[in-house]
Amino acid sequence: MTEQTTLSQANPTPVDCAPSDTSLETWSETRMKHVVLAAKITPRQKATAYLGGLAIGLLSYLAYNWISSIEFMAQPNTLIAKIPTTEIVQLHPLSFVIWQSVSVVLTCALLYLWCRMYRFRHIVEQGANIDGLTGICSHRMLQQVMDTEVSRAGRYSRDLSVVMFDLDDFKASNESFGHEEGDQLLCWLAAHISSSIRGVDTVARYGGDEFVLVLPETADKAAELVADRIRQAVEKGAGRKSALNAPACTISAGVASLTDDIKTRHALLLAADVALYRAKREGKNQIAVYEPGMNKDYRTNSARLKTLLVDQSFGAIEALSAAVDAKDSNTRGHSEAVTAYAVALARKLGLSESELENVRAAALLHDIGKIGMPDAILKKPGSLEQGEWEVVESHTVVGSDILEKIQQLKTIIPGVRHHHERVDGMGYPNGLKGAQIPLIARIIALADAFDAMVSDRSYRKAMPRKQAIEEIQRCAGTQFDPQLVKLFVGVLDEQPEMDSQDRAA
């Protein structure tokens, strides 16, 4: 990698970094071009194919005649020396010309087919790596770039920041001026960002109207300067052309950097998304830098969660479960603790590795439906009213609806949806009884209830461990599966330090 300077040094003051009209037009014309797609079979390649065809034809023709002669001659060992190449050609001139012509045609046809295969293979690769509308990196390519940069930053202890941009009120603009105008706006913004960064930086389209900028060797303050410079340029609308006289647009941005608590690409993107949410919530057209504690105000929807979880990685699942836990300081670490209990019980049951992975993922995301719930309900110190209970109980359905949209996570939906069912049929959301409740849900129900009892809550203090175990045993056959209760108590007896270690972690 070439020697780099920080962006704050390279650009100490905000400037108008908008590209000129000419550069925007050039960007529009060339953004979908690629050296592989534009390449055609050159005259030199054609000449090589013709000469290759002639050589193959000559050699194959001579070989055929020699072999034919060997079959009918009495002295094959001296045949090659006695029959020169020129004599073979002179004996059969017409067949030689036909043979050579066929060989050249076949060679050229094979070359053409190979070139088309090579070209279309790269078209497929480009389609996956390049966004079809804006010509910048796609979501898939972004994940690969971030994997590389996060690994490099961690290995050499270097800075790495990301900026997540979002067009303010883009939906309203689309409805007012049409989707064609919206597409032009997205292309214009992609051109602006791409022309404002270094060669080592990467800009990608993250979602419909969201872009992510990856800034290697850059701390959060320098990244904030870059983001604000781009924001100011977009607000001015320099270089933007609109056939419908659409008003100037604005963008909001969230900045996040690698830290001791943010070590993976999933956590980094989630932190940037949380900061972006703060910027939008505080009035839009501004920049927010991620700080610990921002998660408590985080709200999202199923489309956003699908984007965050789409690659079926536990890194993304863990980052998102941490965001759920962070909404309430009393439940911080709850998902990890429930996961530890659930996996230990599943191992005691002798489940397979794939089933253990499903238990782990479901336990981590069992409360995912709470991510959009009001803090006033989640942190209420007293008892909940009927309507508030209904909101809380809906988190199982909301969570399963979110996961329903993600093909890779459908196997864990039963654990998320039914972990509040009771074996006596008095649970929610479907009132299932006994064996009707999926095993994964019965496992998580035990782990969830036990960790809740041994942890402080806004409405009560933690129960002593012994009392919590007694309560679990008392509810065997009514709330919990009695066979699982016996196994679970055995797990707790075998690992008496488990809950304290998990909570500390």
* 203-215 pLDDT, tens digit each: 999 878 899 999 9
Q: Give the fold, CATH level 3, of 299-505.
A: Hypothetical protein af1432 (1.10.3210)
Average pLDDT over every residue of 33-62: 63
* pLDDT for res 245: 62
* pLDDT for res 247: 65
Each residue of 229-267: pLDDT tens digit? 999 988 887 566 665 566 678 899 999 999 887 888 888
Each residue of 358-387: pLDDT tens digit? 898 888 888 888 876 777 777 777 777 888
Tokens 């709850």 -> residue: 334
b/e code 423-462 from CB counts within 10 Å (16+ = b): beeebbeeebeeeebbbbbbbbbbbbbbbbbbbeeeeeeb
On the question of a cis peptide bond just before residue 429, with omega within 30 degrees of 0, the verdict is: yes
User: CA-CA distance, 383 to 493, in Å (whole number)?
Assistant: 33
Statement: the pTM of the whole predicted model exceeds 0.95 = no
Query: Which ranges in the chain are annotated with CATH 3.30.70.270?
Result: 1-26+133-298
Angle, CA 171 vertex, CA 165 and CA 174 arms, to 5°: 110
Average pLDDT over every residue of 143-165: 91
The pair of structure tokens assigned to 234 is 């977009």
Residue type present at position 34: H
Q: Is pLDDT of 348 > 70?
A: yes
Q: pLDDT band for position 29 (50/70/90)?
A: very low
Q: pLDDT band for position 126 (50/70/90)?
A: low
* pLDDT for res 388: 82
Each residue of 68-94: pLDDT tens digit? 665 444 444 444 445 555 666 666 677
Query: Which ranges in the chain are annotated with CATH 1.10.3210.10?
Result: 299-505
Closest CA to 211 of 233, 235, 230, 229: 230
Identify the residue with better confidence: 7 or 177.
177
Average pLDDT over every residue of 286-308: 67
Lowest mean pLDDT among 85-99, 296-310, 331-345, 376-390: 296-310
Q: pLDDT band for position 104 (50/70/90)?
A: confident
* pLDDT for res 129: 78
Q: Is pLDDT of 16 > 60?
A: no
Percent of the chain with pLDDT over 90: 26
Instruction: Map 159-199 to HEC letters.
Output: CEEEEEEEECCHHHHHHHHCHHHHHHHHHHHHHHHHCCCCC
Q: Is pLDDT of 121 > 80?
A: no
Tell me how crowded residue 197 is: count the other CB atoms within 10 A of its CB: 18
Q: Average per-residue pLDDT in the chain? A: 76
**What's the CATH superfamily of 1-26+133-298?**
Reverse transcriptase/Diguanylate cyclase domain (3.30.70.270)
Average pLDDT over every residue of 448-466: 84
* pLDDT for res 315: 58
CA dihedral sign, ordered 23, 25, 28, 32: negative
